[in-house]
Amino acid sequence: MEDDTKITLKEFEIQNTSSPYYPGTVPGNEWSVEDFKKKCVVKIVKKKGMELEFDLIGVDPSLANAFRRILISEVPTMAIEKVYIYNNTSIIQVGAATDSEMF
């Protein structure tokens, strides 16, 4: 696969997401379900317990990003409304310890 059509998802960033190849912009590059089924490949790299690492091959970066966002939205989140600190014996200041970015 050419480097200009390959995106890389790192732990905190996505590299090479810009692509001039959008469906319908180039003659003969019309989007169809049949072509998508032929080109889209999901290669499982690693499966360990509740973790799964995979490569999504043959998919436009915008679609891969949409899929990534859907997966992230399905991850359960938790919010803590109130934190009561009775005796802070740590080196972390109370304001920093109760800040939402700390956790």
Residue 28 is assigned to a structural domain of this protein: yes
pLDDT per residue over 21-61, tens digit each?
A: 666 666 666 777 888 888 889 999 999 998 889 988 888 77
Q: Which residue has the tokens 């995979």?
A: 54
pTM, two decimals, is 0.50
Distance of CA 48 to the CA centre of its chain: 18
Q: What span, in angstroms and rounded, lies between the C-alpha atoms of 78 and 39?
A: 38
Range of the domain at 26: 3-77
Residue 31 is assigned to a structural domain of this protein: yes
Q: What tokens were used for 71?
A: 């997966």
Region 72-88 average pLDDT: 79
Per-residue pLDDT for 64 more than 90? Answer: no
Residue 90 is assigned to a structural domain of this protein: no
Domain count, the chain: 1
